[in-house]
A and B are shown apart, each in its own frame.
Chain A
Amino acid sequence: MDWTYIQGILMLAGINLISVLGLSLLTGFTGLFSFGHAGFMAIGAYIGALMTVSPSTTPAGLGLPFFVGIIAGGAAAGIVSYFIGRITLSLKGDYFCIATLGFGEATRLLLNNVQIFGGSRGWPGVPYKSTLPVIVLVDVVAVLFLANLIKSRHGRNMIAVREEELAAQVSGIDVFKYKMTALIISAVYAGVAGVFFGHYMTFIQPKMFSMTKSTELTIIVIFGGLGSISGSVLGAVLLTALPEILRAFEIWRLVFYGAAVILIMISRPKGLMGGMELTPSGIRKAQLERKARLEARAEARRLNGLEDGSADEGRGA
């Protein structure tokens, strides 16, 4: 295999990972379902490009260093998400979904019409700045930050919101505040991912940030496992690389995705790594759980056998 090709895929996986991590916090840990994260990526990509593009290419470009672009892109997405959150976070379930969908599509539609950024014709000439070491570095920082957040009291509160919103509210957790925090962090992650994406492609177009992109990100989170950071990492790397490897079967790829999503939901809703982490303590915990489950199942089978002989399949996990 050729290194530039592998490197390209790794970079894409790394970029996807940044936004997947954010979405993992929102969907996997806090239980909010978003159809609009491509919108935050778009904001990051465009604001980031605005900072770094040289004024000779686009009059609006500022020609600033890349790190300024990263910060500005992430910050812009975060600020927008705050206002979106203020408006939509009090909506329930599907109403929140539709509101995020509306936001994502509205962002794309708006960009289609903004002629200084090229409208739907796109914006070429974004400098090529995304390099593998920088992406990996950002990934590591993103994972560490998220892992610490989840372990903290705040993280536990977020999980409580996901599990039983009403109960969490009753036990004194400020549900709105935690939802907002999760949304903002996930938006910042998506924005940063957008900046890297733009500086990887060197060309951005509103088309790239469609609802399909949002759905794709959510699917990666689901595959990896709701409520697992290592799952998201694994999911992002595998699902970015797999289609490249399976190019020959590509028309069946999405058929497989769809079927797998249903299968995961009905059989193993926690995904590849749901609720588990690939850390020494996480593995130990998982092993203990597995042992306990097997023992419980054996016990159940024995008892069932005594009663009517029909073994309970035991819907594990």
Chain B
Amino acid sequence: MTQFFQQVINGLSIGSVYALMAVGYSLVYSIMNFSNFAHGGVIMLGAYFGFFSLTLLHLPFLAAFLLASIGTTILAIVVERIAYKPLRERKAPFLYFIISAMGASILLENIVIATIGPTFRTYPEVFARTPISIGPLAIGRLDLLMFVISAVCLTALILFIEKTKMGKAIQAAAYNIKACALMGINTDKVILIVFGLGGFLAGVAGVFFGMKYTVYPQIGNITTKSFIAAVFGGLGSLPGAVLGSVILGILETFVAGYLSSQYRDLIAFVILIGVLIIRPSGIMGKNTEDKA
């Protein structure tokens, strides 16, 4: 029984990591209808920004955290301006967006390899490794903090989208971006804000990631998992992304814990494809005709 509850905690913790990344994906998808593969690269750079703010600039943790998130916000916008804006203006098919995103992802990862180097870097220990113990159960301090911050960020994001005028514009753009433009909404600005928000979340995710799992250029690859989670939940839906992440986290944990760790990812993929057969747009996905 102890193991069961411990696995639930593990699953939730892994799920919340996925969620932080998946929401960034889904946010962009809801507006642009393509998967922004460069998101992983932005997260990776967020981890580096945080690392260097702590070690080179000797900033306190919160300042480093903020600086990293601002850095990734700018980075995400720059990527949008360079790699996607020309395509948007030309109304290029969705295939080109994906390819361009893939190029951006390769570019970011390899620039880091070529300049900063391929070695692993360890964050200075901000939080003690000793876990909080509840009976035989152990909860990592960092995991707890990450869970709280993820929840805060996601709630703030949902409030922003539900309550503000800009949020309404984003919702409208997600519904139908062409009609929005006709109604006089500055869609370019909406897209900018969306990428900025996605970038900010990438920074948050990146710093946590770095603290938890060290920093190295390929760390962005883990976002493949969050991409899967986002698809699971339904691309374009924020609650879907969170739900998908938690489900994937728990699923992986339980497959590894009770079935077979050797076949964990295999089983996860099979279930994923199963879900897609039954619900082709994920659990909570918006059922749009694809742009291409």
Contact = CB atoms under 8 A, between A and B. Distances in A.
A261 B292 contact: no
Nearest to A109: B266
B235 A94 contact: yes
Contact of A33 (B86, B98, B273): B98
A99 B270 CA distance: 10
The 4 residue pairs across chains A and B that have the minimum distance between CB atoms:
A258-B107, A261-B103, A258-B106, A254-B110
A105 B108 contact: no
Contacts of A226: 95
Interface residues of B, number: 51
A38 B34 CA distance: 23
Nearest to B86: A266
Interface string A118-162: 000000000000000000000000000000000000000000000
A262 B34 contact: no
Q: Is the interface of A mostly helix, strand, loop or mixed?
A: helix
Interface residues of A, number: 46
Given A93-B33, A98-B228, A113-B262, A262 B94 contact: no
Interface string B98-129: 11101111111111011000000000000000
Nearest to A84: B273
A218 B37 CA distance: 15
B263 A222 contact: no
B280 A106 contact: no
A102 interface: yes
B87 interface: yes
A133 to B, nearest CB: 35
Contacts of A258: 103-111
Contact of A105 (B29, B35, B114, B265): B265
Contact of B263 (A105, A113, A261): A113
A260 B263 CA distance: 37
Given A109-B265, A261-B103, A265-B96, A93 B90 contact: no
A32 B283 CA distance: 23
27 contacts: A31-B292, A91-B280, A92-B281, A95-B282, A97-B98, A98-B231, A102-B269, A102-B272, A103-B273, A105-B269, A106-B265, A112-B262, A218-B99, A218-B102, A222-B99, A251-B110, A252-B110, A255-B111, A257-B106, A258-B106, A258-B107, A259-B103, A261-B102, A262-B107, A266-B82, A266-B86, A266-B100
